[in-house]
Structure 1
């Protein structure tokens, strides 16, 4: 009966002991200990405490109560120290959080299996397109030549195209980053086409019914089953609402969000690994670039973001109606995360608008190109909006010369400081001022710790001389040269600034499609002069002065009183400077942590010295018949010393973790 009861109570007793032991270790070491490490440490302690008691008390029946009690405490203390050493060693080898626990492993095995299958598929695509030799970690001198880089860029484009929507979008994004990759790659990746086989009408109808919460026939008077265009993310259908308005319906492909999430997880994991293990990954900030790309792509998958972009762009364009540039108006009540309904703009896509452009004549074509350029400048410099995909496929031309802008899924936004710096850079480039252009450029980029501003100024000056001469090649060549200069000086371009350069680099091809004789740099310089002239009109000067005065007025009102106080303090000889040390909470936390670690180190060292002194001291009073008091104190100080040392070591190892 008693034996059976004891067997039943063994497991609960062990669980209680493990929990108590984990609590004690957590309190002594001052760190959180996971369940696996707690069980491991408790197993070590339980395995040690028995042999220690046998060694200390060979004959427990012959020992008195005090000796037995002290021997038990000593055995438990030594076993606990051994367990804490195990925890510290585990923290050094495998820091807490670096390896997922059993719960995380159980929850994530499906996603890891899917990721592994996708890894295998991507590797097969890379090898099939001739990229396998670049996956072995060796340097390849062959890519130093332009021809080798072009062959590699061609293989990369085919691999990205075969990889699917995420990798196609990544290639399109990289094609605009001339500050990061060579020109051969940007030229080749520009040819990536985001197209796909059309979805069957039944699948489109199912998405519409699920998103709108009603049958398609109830929401639309007519909807063409044949798509106007089909891409890897969505496809577009023409339709008509019940009230008779002609619309365009953009429907997201089923399952594309899950595919993008899986591929983005792989890209982020790869970027994180490269940034940790390679110098070039750290210098480029690969993880930040990948995270920015992931945010932009997820926004593009949410059609409510494009709806907001359309509304913001429409408000910006309405301030200059004379330019006759517009965007389609969205229908918010029929727009969801996967469905976007907007008015259908009439007109011909710019790539197929040859007859319309010829009918406009040279003057009409120049007027349309100028309107598009000034509209883009207004968006960037006044409203902080950047339409990053102003290629000919996203521009409609009407017979009267007015323009329509499409595909606002990717729109950048600029803060006031960045807008001002972009304006200063364009003005300096237009005026040929290399010093002002250098200052504006350094405000736009993330500058490294060491940079030769003089060399950067000379490089910009040479570019200004080169591209300011009438008749020289401008446009994309000029932007490529600026990107090359940025790369040469190891300047990191933030994504929103890169979007501005991408806009104007893409816009150059669109403008020359409208008017083959259009000079982007000269037109931008002329537009800048008009802006300066408009800013110098009496009305604008008065408005600017009123704004500056309103901002300065509170300071001016307090200034006389403060000057009087300062003069009175100086006259009385009471002028002093009050500096608050450690006013920031982070500074206080840092100093407090250093003091705590130093104090623990000193106390641990003192306890260790005291332990040695007591254990080495001969004679002394007896705690029991067989144990001296000095031995009890010595071992006690030894335990305290080891605990404090282990606590300091745990803190040190956790702070040094990258």
Structure 2
């Protein structure tokens, strides 16, 4: 049999054994084919070196014949193969670290991901080009030195980038506790107006959602849209039963673009959290995930239909409802199409100062403020996007709301703090206002609130507001104070303040000098009475009383159990930390890894010392017992260190994969 065939067979056998042992030692997830190829390469490259070492050790003579007893020769051969195996393990682990193993992927899934990567690359190029055109490149801004118009340039770029980035800018405009005022003001101007798609395309989309011809549902549909935005456009229509409705149809390509944009944003946020401390401190990926969830819900018009009905129900429960919510036609509503009752009237956005008599304008505005504050403070459900285009003035001076893609929900416990906060502002009570603020807001991580300084700053704001005849908004001023003291306000409360700020701008379309905050504060005691009706107080007292009675009933038994445990010596205090099995498992693994690493280092050092000592009986003419044993001990320590290092790298990889967005892990 030729020598090369024998060498090849030995290499294959060695590769199979080394692969099996390496996967057992390191991780079964390591690819078999890769490990076999690397084992063969290591064997072929190290075999000449191994033969040379056996010659230098006196095990083989110059003709590669065995020069010592068979047992000693087998021992040296086993030691040599052991070190070759250790080299295989080290090489496999190094390659695995640089190029992790990935399983065979479904061809369909791989093709879809390739298409998504192509779409992301195109979208990246578009976004970069848009930013460059508006001068948002770092080099351009440094060269031009015009940082003062950065908010304006940012708004223009977001408007051109499409629906996802417009929505992102609108969401950021509500974070007055994070962004500077000039950015908040600029982002608040973002609008979604867009060129209408042709009627043929809109008609095809409506027919596709209906699943039947238009004539089977509508008597007429106006081909000219009432409004057009980046996501959808609205057409006036009449049902066969005679009801006047509007049809809100989503643009056919809007959802695909939003999906690509959200994928890009989630990946950028994940990468930012890995690289930048501020992104981890703010929880950037969690914020982007929440934004993506809200935007996907907004693209599902069934969610908007549910929001509409929720707000209709809340307004119907009001004692004196002054707002109108259009009716939804659920039988014609799908995820991409919404059919609503048509609201006749004039949007606030089309009103100019002086169009209405001042007394009439103030009366309408007062009614809107009363209703909105009742929805926020009493019902806990409110329209969260009250810009002028979403408020429609009807002929009977009632006001209708439209576009329910965003509604706010504020829990009862926070509502019970909101009204005392308003009353404290009305009474210029800085102590009570500070108490409520500290109950509502939490300091940023690693900071603590200076109560005295906070109370002073809040008192200054309240005094200035009560003595100023200007139109300064108390909510914006208080948010500036909270930002200065690094207090994080709950998102739901920020949404309330943002909604009120939008409402104030809308109501000044009716009357330019209308004081919404002043009227709202004057109505705060009335709102408090609505929240604390005799029935509500009775039910609260009843539930709290029942809870107290149940706790008192259980108290003697608990005291008896504690006393019995103390008496028989079985009283145990359980610490919360490491009480969970997962935490204990993590701690056990950490201690085990430390132990293995320590033993591996000790064995490696001991092996080196034995090899240097060069003492004891001679096994061959060149090697004594001490170096031979040292090589064996060092081999064991080296393998233990490789295993410990592999576990550490695997743990880091698992953490990174857990933070990665779906499809990237």
Q: TM-score interval w.r.t. the shorter chain? A: 0.7 to 0.9
Could you tell me whether the CA contact under 8 Å between 1:456 and 1:489 is conserved in 2?
yes
Matches within 5 A, 1:136-535: 148-149=147-148, 151-320=149-318, 322-352=320-350, 358=356, 364-448=360-444, 449-451=446-448, 452-469=450-467, 471-475=469-473, 478-535=474-531
- The count of corresponding residues between Structure 1 and Structure 2 is 640
How much does 1:336 deviate?
1.4
> 2: CA distance between counterparts of 1:574 and 1:388?
59
Distance 1:97 1:413 in 2: 46
Provide closer, same or farther for how the CA distance between residues 520 and 222 of structure 1 changes in structure 2, counting only shifts above 3 A.
same
1:81–1:414 distance in 2 versus 1, CA, 3 Å: farther
Using a 3 Å threshold, how does the CA distance of structure 1 residues 61 and 245 change in structure 2: closer, same or farther? Answer: farther
Q: 1:551 deviation in Å?
A: 3.1
State the alpha-carbon separation in 2 of the partners of residues 642 and 489 from structure 1: 54
Matching of residue 73 in structure 1 with residue 94 in structure 2: no
**What per-residue deviation string (whole Å, max 9, x for no partner) do you get for residues 75-133 of structure 1?**
332222223323444566x4858999999987644333332332222222222222234
- C-alpha contact 1:174 1:186 (8 A) present in aligned 2: yes
Residue by residue over 1:238-288, the C-alpha shift from the partner in whole angstroms, topping out at 9 and shown as x without a partner, is 112233222211100011111112222223333334444445444444333
Range with greater deviation from structure 2 (277-286 or 231-240): 277-286
Residue 661 of structure 2 is matched in structure 1 by none
2:378–2:531 contact (8 Å) kept in structure 1: no
- Give the C-alpha shift of residue 310 in structure 1: 0.9
- 1:292 Cα shift? 2.7
Deviations 1:12-38 (A, max 9, x none): x96x97676444323213574357864
- 2:193 match: secondary structure: coil
Q: Which residue of 2 aligns with 1:110?
A: 115
Q: 1:18 and 1:354, CA in 2 relative to 1: closer, same or farther beyond 3 A? A: farther
Gaps of 5+ in 1: none
Instruction: Give the Å deviation of 1:390.
Output: 0.5
Which whole-Å CA distance do the structure 2 matches of 1:410 and 1:47 have between them?
Answer: 67
- Contact 1:474/1:519 (CA < 8 Å) preserved in 2? no
**C-alpha deviation, 1:558, in angstroms:** 1.9
Supply the distance in 1 between the matched residues of 2:366 and 2:31 (Cα, whole angstroms).
65
- Measured in 1, the distance between the counterparts of 2:479 and 2:101 equals 41
Task: Tell me the CA shift for residue 318 of structure 1.
Answer: 1.2
Instruction: Report the Cα distance in structure 1 between the residues aligned to 2:478 and 2:320, rounded to whole angstroms.
Output: 33
Does 255-264 or 50-59 show the bigger shift?
50-59
Q: Deviations over 1:124-170 (max 9, x none)?
A: 2222222234578x7x9956xxxx42x22222222222222222222
- Which residue of 539, 552, 555 maps to 1:556? 552
Q: Contact between 1:41 and 1:84, CA under 8 Å: does it hold in 2?
A: no
Where 2:204 maps in the other structure, the secondary structure is helix
Distance of 1:287 and 1:529 partners within structure 2: 41
Structure 2 contact 177–489 (Cα < 8 Å) conserved: yes
Q: Is the 8 A contact 1:357 1:365 kept in 2?
A: no
Rounded Cα–Cα distance in structure 2 between residues aligned with 1:35 and 1:305: 49
* C-alpha contact 1:365 1:401 (8 A) present in aligned 2: no
Q: Distance in 2 between matches of 1:355 and 1:614?
A: 96
Q: Indicate yes or no: 2:47 matched with 1:50.
A: yes
Tell me, yes or no, if structure 1 residue 125 matches structure 2 residue 130. yes
Q: Per-residue displacement from partner, 1:607-645 (whole Å, max 9, x unpaired)?
A: 3355356654634596x9998776665433322211111
Does the Cα contact within 8 Å between 2:272 and 2:279 map onto a contact in 1?
yes
| Structure 2 residue runs without a partner (length 5+) | 657-665
| Per-residue deviation, 1:228 | 1.0
List per-residue Cα deviations over 1:303-351 (Å, max 9, x = no partner). Answer: 1111111121111111115223131222222211111112222332123
Q: Classify the secondary structure of the residue corresponding to 2:294.
A: helix
Distance 1:656 1:396, change over 3 A: same
Question: TM-score normalised to the size of structure 2?
Answer: 0.84
My pick for the range that moved more, 188-197 or 223-232, is 188-197
For 1:211-254, what per-residue CA distance to the aligned partner results, in whole angstroms no more than 9, with x for missing partners?
Answer: 22222222323222221111000001111223322221110001
1:482 counterpart SS class: helix
In the superposition, relative to structure 1, how do residues 535 and 41 fare at CA in structure 2: closer, same or farther (>3 Å)?
same
Q: Which residue number in structure 2 is paired with residue 618 of structure 1?
A: 615
- In the superposition, the TM-score normalised over structure 1's length comes to 0.85
Deviates more, 1:283-292 or 1:311-320: 283-292
**Which has the larger displacement, 605-614 or 306-315?**
605-614
**SS of 1:404's equivalent?**
strand
After TM superposition, give the deviation of residue 596 of structure 1 in Å: 0.5
Q: What is the alpha-carbon distance in structure 1 between the residues aligned to residue 520 and residue 562 of structure 2? A: 50
CA distance in 2, matches of 1:123, 1:553: 65
1:650 deviation in Å?
Answer: 3.0
Mapped partners of 2:35, 2:106: distance in 1:
14
Query: Counterparts of 2:494 and 2:23 in 1: how far apart (Å)?
Result: 49
Change (3 A) 1:38 1:365: farther
